[in-house]
Amino acid sequence: MPQMEVEYQSPCCPLRSFGLKPSRGRVSSGPDLGEALGGMAISHCLSKSVRDSAALLDISSELMPGEPYVSPKQNGKFLDSIHIEPKNLKIDS
């Protein structure tokens, strides 16, 4: 599931925040807004932690009837997956 992490600290706000852009079809936009901007418009949150974003993603990933795009079903909860150790990654150039 491709995701994008954004970490941003505003000069006016000392709080560090975490942003997550879920994959297309992961968070429901409903049948009317699902085609907005060709499906590139995704709603989620700017939270204080990965844990908060995972909890909201568990809640907001329920699909609505008439959804134009659907992501594959997640095995388990996103909140539970933050405790799993990541596997070694190998990047070839």
The pair of three-digit structure tokens given for residue 16, joined into one six-digit string: 């560090």
The pair of three-digit structure tokens given for residue 65, joined into one six-digit string: 């009837």
Condensed to tens digits (0 to 9), the pLDDT of residues 24-71 reads 778 877 766 666 666 667 777 888 888 998 998 898 888 777 777 778
Provide the residue ranges of all domains of the chain, joining segments of one domain with +.
Answer: 4-71
Average confidence (pLDDT) over 69-75: 81
Strands of 4-8's sheet in order across: 4-8, 17-21, 46-47
Report the alpha-carbon distance of residue 26 to residue 1 in Å, rounded.
Answer: 9
Give the helix ranges, DSSP H, for 1-93. Answer: 30-33, 50-60, 78-81
Indicate the pTM of the whole model: 0.66
Q: What local confidence, expressed as pLDDT, does residue 1 receive?
A: 46
